[in-house]
């Protein structure tokens, strides 16, 4: 192979083999993808959000396909931190030992619940490289986007969680007031940011006059949101100095490359994992091809290379 490109990046003090990460809630507990490829080829995996106690989530139907993507109203169904660790801890420890960063996502309905879940993770998940605070789920009535949609709310959650771990804290942000919220997360001690979570949206069955999912609104993801996500990631990269993980509608190497160009140090594959379960490794190869085509020997030369 000519001119092999170094793909390794530094993300909040974690050395990633490459910038490829997976978006929370679209990658299960990573194990589900071993039938499709060796998951340890990825730089990182981010797990489905987990809370201190199990959550049932929302009623059926919990998804609808829409133009250019899908709506989901899963509402953070999860077996709780203890359940997650019991089911997947051994596998995840093995994955971490192969040099793939395992990022555990923390969910809560209140500041107290975020703290409880983080304390449990801190104790039960020694293999986790970092924790991601989900303050942007649009599908739950309390917590999630209900707390993370203002700079004050975001600050409160991050500030309360910060003393509870020495490991890097990432904040998963929604598609609202991104520059202000990014700054307040960093002020409260966040080491990195990831965005965007799904966009709150609606789809209505015109014959029954009802929502196509069990709640009036649901989270929109998929290729249609990509240009919006790139714009928001660019704004955040300009506003703060911590590393940013770009998420939203990535289906191929070119989509991922746009996030790197605007300054993201990592990218997460979301809905595309459902469409092509082997997407993340394919996109890794496509990113390498792109880097070669740009004549660089290190992917870091392309991060933030956007000219305006």
Contact indicator for 235, 178 with CB cutoff of 8 Å: yes
Shorter beta-carbon distance to ligand FMN: residue 77 or 150 = 77
Known catalytic residue: 137? yes
Among 14, 218, 225, 256, binds ligand FMN (CB under 6 A): 225
Using CB under 6 A as the binding rule, the residues of this chain from 276 to 305 that contact ligand FMN are none
Using CB under 6 A as the binding rule, the residues of this chain from 159 to 198 that contact ligand FMN are 172, 197-198
CA distances from 46 to 1, 107, 302 (A): 31, 13, 24
Q: Does 249 bind ligand FMN (CB under 6 A)?
A: yes
Contact indicator for 64, 213 with CB cutoff of 8 Å: yes
DSSP codes of every residue in 149-192? TSHHHHHHHHHHHGGG-SS-EEEEE-SSSHHHHHHHHHHTT-SE
Residue with tokens 């994955």: 95
- Name the minimum Å distance from CB 271 to ligand FMN: 3
The tokens for 155 are 């600050």
Q: What is the DSSP secondary structure assignment for residue 214, as one 8-state letter?
A: S
Binding at 263: pick from another protein, ligand FMN, none (beta carbon under 5-8 Å per type): none
Among 130, 221, 233, 283, binds ligand FMN (CB under 6 A): 221
- Name the minimum Å distance from CB 32 to another protein: 5
Q: Does 144 bind another protein (CB under 8 A)?
A: no
Q: Does 48 bind another protein (CB under 8 A)?
A: yes
Among 222, 246, 253, 263, binds ligand FMN (CB under 6 A): 222
Q: Directed axis angle between helix 226-239 and helix 253-261, to 10°?
A: 20
The tokens for 260 are 């790197």
Apex 55 CA angle, 210 and 271, nearest 5:
60
Among 42, 46, 62, 136, binds another protein (CB under 8 A): 62
**Which residues carry out catalysis?**
137
- Where does this chain bind another protein (CB under 8 A)? 25-29, 31-33, 35-36, 48, 56-57, 60-65, 67-70, 72, 74, 77, 79, 87-88, 222-224, 271, 273-278
């Amino acid at each position: 192979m000519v001119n092999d490109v170094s793909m390794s990046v530094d993300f909040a003090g974690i050395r990633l083999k490459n910038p490829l990460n997976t978006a929370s809630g679209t990658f299960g507990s990573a194990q589900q993808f071993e039938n499709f490829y060796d998951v340890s080829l990825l730089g990182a995996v981010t797990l489905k959000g987990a809370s201190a106690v199990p959550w049932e989530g929302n009623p059926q139907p919990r998804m609808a396909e829409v133009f250019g993507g899908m709506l989901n109203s899963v509402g953070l169904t999860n077996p709780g931190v203890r359940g997650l660790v019991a089911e997947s801890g051994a596998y995840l420890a093995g994955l971490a030992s192969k040099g793939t960063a395992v990022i555990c996502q923390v969910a809560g309905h209140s500041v107290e619940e975020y703290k409880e879940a983080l304390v449990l993770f801190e104790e039960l998940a020694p293999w986790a490289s970092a924790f991601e605070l989900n303050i942007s789920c649009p599908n739950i009535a309390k917590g999630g986007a209900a707390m993370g949609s203002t700079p004050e709310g975001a600050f409160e959650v991050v500030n309360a969680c910060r003393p509870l771990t020495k490991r890097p804290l990432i904040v998963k942000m929604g598609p609202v007031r991104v520059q202000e919220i990014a700054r307040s997360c960093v002020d409260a001690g966040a080491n990195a940011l990831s965005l965007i979570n799904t966009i709150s949206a609606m789809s209505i069955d015109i014959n029954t006059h009802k929502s196509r999912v069990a709640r009036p609104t649901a989270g929109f993801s998929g290729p249609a949101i990509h240009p919006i996500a790139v714009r928001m990631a660019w704004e955040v990269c300009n506003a703060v100095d911590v590393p940013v993980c770009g998420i939203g509608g990535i289906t191929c190497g070119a989509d991922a490359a746009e996030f790197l160009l605007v300054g993201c140090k990592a990218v997460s594959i979301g809905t595309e994992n459902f469409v092509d379960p082997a997407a993340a490794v394919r996109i890794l190869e496509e990113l390498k091809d792109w880097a070669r085509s740009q004549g660089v020997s290190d992917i870091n030369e392309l991060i933030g290379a956007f000219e305006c």
